[in-house]
DNA sequence: ATAAAAACAGGAATAATTACTGATTTTACG
DNA sequence: CGTAAAATCAGTAATTATTCCTGTTTTTAT
């Protein structure tokens, strides 16, 4: 892992993510940051999103549709995936995850370090 | 959804999956079914795996690494993903899912129809 | 001021998956 | 059985998200 130097592009990416309460894909970030940096490349967006995620400054959300999404909110929370429109959003529920408390346990010799849970269904907009 | 007709290729794909207790990718299935059907194409494997999954005859497993895996065992069970080698395997635990019981509930207008949970960490083989 | 390291833009490459096309199989029905 | 419509196939091209590569520009410690 290289020492990270400041970059204006990375700051802009972070700033954009901060303004969003949804979970933009790299391409959405790219489209938006382009207004401030017309010459920014998609590769730069990917590199910075991945770097920030690896540093734990943002969260990488993967719900199995083949597209990475990113979230400024790194606190542990659940997501809801609409099966019809594909939207991904926060799920405001206080249901404690069954999986908490599993961390550190070993099952069949496999050491559990974390878990992912997400819910899917039909979103409010698609139900109208 | 078209009416499904019998096909020898589909049967072979299903039969192969039945013999496996892990969760082969489309390419693994392709490599193996080729011994019985030397001219089978990868597209055929994908089409049939997706068809079988849509029919509920097999399960599609997505753990966010960009590769679809398939499982003959369609009963609800958890998976463990090794972060080091990428292996995906069943996790034998009787921890009841807290997420069960959420089905049918509506939160913020979003109707919950199901959920996905998987654990990640270091597998027994990588810990040696 | 300068030089090494990091980051960049632009574009090529990769990898998994899907879509297209004309030929082959399956199956319901006469 | 023969046949025709529909499903499926093999082979290949296209798509999509993402990563990698290269030569140039920024950042930063000294």
Q: Name the minimum distance, in Å, from the CA of A10 to any CA of chain B.
A: 25
Nearest-5° Cα angle at A99, A96 to A104: 130
> A96: pLDDT confidence band, cut at 50, 70 and 90?
low
The string of pLDDT tens digits covering residues A37-94 is 999 999 999 999 999 999 999 999 999 999 999 999 999 888 999 999 999 999 887 6
Instruction: Say if residue B10's pLDDT is above 90.
Output: yes
Task: Give pLDDT, residue A50.
Answer: 98
Q: Which residue is nearest to nucleotide D11 (CA to C1')?
A: B41
Q: Taking CB atoms and an 8 Å limit, are A116 and B121 in contact across chains?
A: no
Q: Which two tokens stand for residue B111?
A: 């109707």
Rounded CA separation B57/A95 (Å):
31
Would you give the DSSP letter of residue A100? Answer: T
Residues A40 and A19 in one domain: yes
Same domain, A47 and A93: no
Is it the case that residue A25 has pLDDT exceeding 60?
Answer: yes
Top pLDDT among A95 and B75 is at B75
Residue with tokens 């079914």, as numbered in its chain: B33
> Within this chain, do residues A83 and A110 fall inside the same structural domain, yes or no?
yes
Least confident range from A58-62, A94-98, B44-48, B56-60: namely A94-98
Nearest residue to C7 via alpha carbon and C1': A7
Residue A54 shares a structural domain with residue A82 = no
For the segment B53-57, the average pLDDT, to the nearest whole number, is 96
pLDDT mean over A23-49: 97
Per-residue flag: A43 CB under 7 A of strand D = yes
Residue B31 lies in a domain: yes
In a domain, residue A13? The reply is yes
Residue at B60 is within a domain: yes
Position B46 in a domain: yes
For residues A108 and A41, is the Cβ–Cβ distance under 8 A?
A: no
Residue A98 has pLDDT above 80, yes or no: no
Task: Look at residue A3 in the predicted model and tell me its pLDDT.
Answer: 83
Residue range of the domain that includes B95: 78-127
A2 assigned to some structural domain: no
**CA-closest candidate to residue A51, choices A13, A15, A90, A79:** A13
Residues B17 and B53 in one domain: yes
- Answer yes or no: is B2 within a domain: no
Give the E-state strand segments of B1-128 in sequence order.
59-61, 69-71, 78-82, 88-91, 106-107, 110-122
| Closest by Cβ to A98, choosing from B80, B97, B123 | B97
| CB pairs A-B closer than 8 Å | 115
Strands B69-71 and A59-61: unpaired
Q: In terms of domains, do B29 and B59 share one? A: yes
Q: Which residue has the higher pLDDT, B93 or B70?
A: B70
C25 C1' closest Cα residue: B7
Chain B residues within 8 A of A99 when measuring between CB atoms: 95, 117, 119
Task: State the best of A26, A53, A63, A64 to mutate against chain B, taking most chain B CBs within 10 Å.
Answer: A64
What is the CATH classification number for the domain harbouring B28?
1.10.10.10
Within-domain flag for B87: yes
| pLDDT band per the 50, 70, 90 thresholds, residue A10 | very high
Regarding whether A109 and A87 lie in a shared domain, the answer is: yes
Total of domains in chain A? 2
CATH of the domain at A100: 3.30.1490
Residue A3 resides in a domain? no
């Amino acid at each position: 892992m290289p020492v990270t130097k400041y970059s204006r592009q990375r700051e802009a990416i972070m700033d954009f993510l901060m303004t969003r309460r949804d979970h933009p894909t790299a391409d959405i970030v790219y489209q938006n940051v382009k207004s401030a940096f017309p010459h920014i490349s998609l590769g730069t967006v990917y590199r910075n999103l991945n770097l920030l995620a690896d540093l734990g400054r943002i969260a990488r959300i993967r719900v199995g549709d083949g597209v990475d999404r990113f979230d400024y909110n790194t606190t542990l929370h659940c997501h809801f995936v609409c099966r019809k429109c594909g939207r991904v959003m926060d799920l405001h529920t206080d249901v404690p995850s069954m999986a908490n408390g599993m961390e550190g346990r070993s099952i069949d010799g496999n050491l559990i370090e974390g878990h992912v849970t997400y819910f899917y269904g039909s979103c409010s907009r698609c139900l109208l």
